[in-house]
Chain A
Amino acid sequence: MTPNRVVDPITTAVVHNALLTAAREMRETIQRTSFSPVIYEDRDFACGLLDADANTLAEAPGLTAFMGTLSPGIKRVLEEQGKDDIESGDVYCTSMPAFTGSHPADMMLWMPIFFEGRLFGFAASKAHLIDVGAKDPYPTDSTDAFQEGLRIPPVKLYRAGVLDQTLAAIIKSNSRAPEVIWGDIHSEIACFRTGEQGVLRLLKKYGFDTVQACAEDIYDHAERMARDAIRKMPAGTWSAVDYCDDNGIERGVPLKVAISITIDPEAAEVTFDFSESAKQQPGPMNAPYITAVSCARMMGKILTAPESVACEGSFRPIKVIAPLGTIFNAHDAAPTNLYGWPSMTAVETTLKALAEDFPDRFPAQSGGDLCGCFRYGFDQDTGAMWVEANIEGIGQGASAVADGESAIVHIEEACSRNLPVELEETKDPEIIECYELVTDSGGAGKFRGGLGVRRAYRLLADGRMISTLERCNAPHAGVAGGLPGGRTIGILDSSIYGLGTEFRKTPDQPIAKGDLLTIITGGGGGYGNPLDRDPQRVHHDVIEGLVSPGAARDLYGVVVTGDGEVDLDATKKLRASRTLERMN
């Protein structure tokens, strides 16, 4: 397919790189000016530039799960409100899940960019605001949307450069941390100005029509790359089912996540169908439709063109089906605070469906969770609140050619970081007793899944906890005969709940001084039959303490002797008899 040129390829390349630079500068502005560590340390935000129809023009590397939501969210607003009322100097905001594809804490903001009186596009962002007045710091048992924070429909926070004082007062009075969220909102607005300057520089240099033509060229190029990739794929439908632990209310009742991916090389399209997933739930494990779109876009991008930057064209061949009233298209008032977990599980379910037939695109399932657990409390003397909420690394699934990476954050939050032990001990009444890889947590296979981690917190004061642990039930599937990785495990050794009590998703509850809270994160699934793994690799894993000698023998059929060497003869015999057992 030959490109249909309107502008010359040099100008397009220069304009595209400049737009990407502008998007990255937007990100630097947010990181430099935000008030909350959730944004500048955890990087719980995304930002980018859109065209006048809210197509994704350039995005900054950010929270992977957020990036695909800006465009469909603003498109929906444009559909409902049109463009006539948009003025230069406006800043819009909304916290409604139906538009943001998130919970209310993830507020979306955007600002139009005008040049010589014409609307060129938008600068947009979505960031996690630390508190928007939900019933507790992070509800895991909310039963409707109104318990999860302030609901702001898509309205103007600034109209032609003038702040709406009424709305500002409402936003601030509905937060437990008004200065911080107000600071963060303005950090996002500052980033829009950065993005606007970058775009205006280009518009001045090349003219409105040329830059617009470049945008079309950029989309068409990405679309061509994606569709060319799809045309080379086999036709068919790949389906898989997986389960979240529960919906947060009905504890222990598994929640079905089902995905079908249909590849149509003739139409050069890929469809992600979420229809067979569970109906909308009474607890917060629901996702708005836009979450499903973002999730499909992310997985579609990885399937079609993972090495290039994303833009609207990358997403044109990706279709989404998610019927209203299911967990991937919840009604407007549904509780969605834990929307991210069905979404993460959808990523894992997609891996389960595709990894075997698309080994160069997808590995086996990962540990599948962020393994977050809030601890908070109040200083006895000063009454000051301390709060900590970690996210943790998990094992990545193995692929057809390599072992999975260990202790790495879930792909949905690809840029986020953990909390250093030394900072945490300095800041909070806790001692961390260990932070280490978990031997044997990687799923066995010809290629081994990555390992999860163990982190144990000893409380030095009474406090409270909220846990969002997921994937405590479901094993993380291996592929092509690979075995599952270890599951997520939370353990409390507590004077309140007893020793060795397992916990999963847990609403707000007390914990006592002296309690030990241990979180073990899941490992990745293995790829291929463990009996086919090179004995030298198994040997290496044993020496490194990643696999125990027992597991080497039982799972891999590799005999490691007392002096740490592989007994090749014994291994050969053991593997032969294991293979025979399997065949029988």
Chain B
Amino acid sequence: MIRIGTDIGGTFTDIVWVDDQTGEIKADKAATTPADVVQGVMAAYLKTGVAADEVGQFIHGSTVATNALVTQRGAVTGLITTKGFRDILEIRRIDRPDEHIYNIFWEKPKPLVPRRRRLEISARMMFDGTVLEPVDEAEVRAVTEKLLEAGVQSIAVCLLHAYADPSHELAVRDLIREIDPDVYVSMSHEVAREIREYERTSSTVIDAYVKKPVVGYLNRLDSTLREDTGLENSPLIANSTGGVSTVEAIGRAPIQMMESGPAGGAIGAAYLSDKLGTPNLVTGDVGGTSYDVSIVVDGQTVLRTEHDILGYAAKVSSIDVRSVGAGGGSIARVDAGGRLHVGPASAGADPGPMCYDRGGDEPTVTDAAVVSGLIDPTLFAGGEMKLCPELATKGIERIARQLGLTTEETAEGILTVARNNMANVTRQTLVGQGHDPRDFALLAFGGGGGLFASEVARTLDIPKVIIPRHPSVFSAWGMLSADIVGSFARSYLRQIPQVELDYVKRLFSEMESEALELTEEAGVDPKNVTFHRSIDCRYTGQGHEVEVPLGELAIDERLLELLPELFDEAHEARFGHRMPSQRETVTYRLRVFGTMHRLPLVEIESGPDSAKDALVSTKKVFVNRAWQNAGIYDRGKLLGGATIDGPALVQEPSHVTVLMPGDTATVDAFGALHIAVGSEVR
């Protein structure tokens, strides 16, 4: 059987396919078709030449959910809230983002549901489920009718304290269904069953807002793949938590697809970390506009339970991916005061860098790399796009004049500033979570990963860089290693001595049945299903929680006895101290993993230490402030065990790995490049 992974990027739709028997991996790409991206996916699939009846699994990652937010083209959405609280969505948390503290004109992102479509009902519940005001059916009907009359296609329901008891939200849902069985409904206790009304409302509204475009897209993809090409199974969709979900599961909670794109790289990294025996990895995914960082600790991807999507709060589990505006298309400019800036503005894919010769008029990181001799203009994007080095030089010369430097010094300077921005976000990600960069290896991929990795690692004292095979399509490859993953949560705010064990048992068993439904739907054998349980706890009075993993512990009296100490330990590990306060539980979590096929890693042919058979030529590159001779190697010809000393360029279709003076790369048995990062040469 052949399994296929596809990932839609801004310029290209990547496709990777692997033969489960032989383990052979192939990759290709087709132009992304923005008007209807399904066409690009189909074009990519046709390029594989794999017959429909050979396809065992088709895994797909897409930014369709995020795009609906970016373009503000979601469904006409309505919101039903508790009386007195319809403006929670707009009041938010009242703060300004860090980068806007001096910006007195800063405006919040426009609420996805305007005030006229935010309607209130008098049902009211307390934190312990006590009902102050029951659901008034006539009122709910009237509110629903009003929303439908306003043309609403999707309704978000978020009532105060619904995390404690969903019965009011369920009653509202049933009444809506009675009136209109077809309107989309998102309930807060299903989307994010956690305390904090703004974050839960915002998440529910995002979910309701993107549901229509996401469901429409997935159904179209599904029917195109199955009816037009005869694929037997529905595609599986990469979700934000580093797993895959069925089309049906995503349709129920499309917010889980929000970070489908960057997740693939993180999944692949976690998978590789095990295979390569490198438990701690930090990833550097270089795209056209951004540098994305995620981390793998002890072989596990690191998740976060809350984040910000384009300025809208989302209280859902997702891979913790941090980004900085530094990529191939990042624009270099000199400000009025004479300071060089690189990014975050990007020339994107269109018009793109000046050397694309598509009308771009601002020099970018890619232009700098061309001028430095690091990118071969004839081999860019697998040779599918010829670059124009004269235009790159013209752009860099302009910056050089403003800075009073030579053209090549300027080009190297632009790369240096970009790399340092990448290093800074990486350091912040690691140190911010209490990690020492020296304990990590940098796994670099994406179109520009190898261009920057050595210098980023050197800046951070990271001793080793790994460039996987097929680095430019690594995210699509990563998806092929994914499990069926689902995340479930229930808030239950109690000081630990007051926690009722029976209630906790019920919470977990509810979540387990939901989890099993999910894996069953995806056809996972129940014996390949595992659960990870955890409890978010905090000291009474604190505003943030620490997730305490329960490991193999059973849900019994002993757990409640151990929990205070487990929490103290977790708190100390993350924050450096314990506190002399009461401890309380806030949110109970269950993650389910349904293991699918595992991705085989195939050994490549091994050979002598010398890489001379892969040496194509030598050329001059400008690194460390001088033109130096660098060996040019063809990665496809490198055998296992070969070593290469920098300065050198290792070229393959769509990717180049730069070895700096002092670096030594070794090819491992699976074809990955391991670069021992040399010490600073100044």
Contact = CB atoms under 8 A, between A and B. Distances in A.
Interface in A453-500: 453, 456
Interface stretch (B45-53, B65-73, B333-341, B521-529): B333-341
B94 A417 contact: yes
A380 interface: no
B339 A33 contact: no
Nearest to B335: A225
A80 to B, nearest CB: 31
A28 B337 contact: no
Given A221-B339, A435-B84, A425 B127 contact: yes
Given A2-B338, A33-B577, A423-B543, A363 B105 contact: yes
Interface string B189-219: 0000001111100000000000000000000
Contacts of A418: 91, 93-94
Interface in B5-24: none
B551 interface: no
B493 interface: yes
A543 interface: yes
Contacts of B341: 13
B115 interface: yes
Interface stretch (A151-159, A237-245, A272-280, A298-306): A298-306
B417 A14 contact: yes
Contacts of B680: 205
B559 interface: no
Nearest to A419: B543
Interface string A6-25: 00111011100110010011
Contacts of B84: 432-436, 456
Contacts of B277: none
A200 interface: no
Nearest to A194: B431
Contacts of B98: 61, 415
Contacts of B617: none
Contacts of B87: 407, 435-437, 453
Contact of A183 (B197, B198, B413, B577): B577
Interface in A18-50: 18, 21, 24-25, 28, 32-33, 35, 37, 40-41, 43
A519 interface: no
Given A436-B84, A546-B115, A17 B493 contact: no
A224 interface: yes
Interface in B76-103: 83-88, 90-96, 98-103
B337 A221 contact: yes
Classify chain A: how many residues form its interface, as a range: 35 or more
Contacts of B432: 25, 28, 32
Contacts of A436: 84-87, 91
Contact of A21 (B99, B105, B161, B428): B428
B104 interface: yes
Interface string A366-384: 0000000000000000000
B57 interface: no
A399 interface: yes
A41 B91 contact: no
A362 interface: yes
Given A10-B416, A423-B543, A545 B115 contact: yes
B33 interface: no
Interface in B399-458: 403-405, 409, 412-413, 416-417, 420-421, 424, 427-428, 431-432, 434
Interface string A414-428: 111110111101110
B191 to A, nearest CB: 15
Contact of B115 (A402, A420, A544): A544
A186 B577 CA distance: 10
Q: Which of B163, B340, B405 has the most CB of A within 10 A?
A: B340
Nearest to A416: B95
B95 A453 contact: no
By secondary structure, the B interface counts as loop
Interface residues of B, number: 73
Contact of B126 (A9, A25, A425): A425
Contacts of B543: 37, 40-41, 423
Nearest to A426: B127
B428 A426 contact: no
Nearest to B128: A426
Given A32-B574, A221-B337, A545-B115, A396 B90 contact: no
B105 A423 contact: no
A140 interface: no
Contacts of A307: 103
Contacts of B199: 420
Interface in A525-553: 543-546
A190 interface: yes
A415 B95 contact: yes
B356 to A, nearest CB: 25
A531 B104 CA distance: 26
Given A28-B428, A399-B105, A546-B115, A409 B337 contact: no
Contacts of B434: 32
B90 A406 contact: yes
5 contacts: A10-B413, A18-B424, A183-B579, A224-B338, A422-B160
Interface of A: 2-3, 5, 8-10, 12-14, 17-18, 21, 24-25, 28, 32-33, 35, 37, 40-41, 43, 61-62, 64, 179, 183, 186, 190, 194, 205, 221-222, 224-225, 228, 298, 301-302, 306-307, 310, 362-363, 391-393, 396, 399, 402, 405-409, 411, 414-418, 420-423, 425-427, 431-437, 453, 456, 543-546
Given A25-B428, A32-B434, 13 more contacts: A10-B417, A25-B432, A32-B574, A306-B104, A363-B104, A405-B107, A406-B90, A408-B108, A414-B100, A415-B95, A420-B197, A421-B88, A422-B163
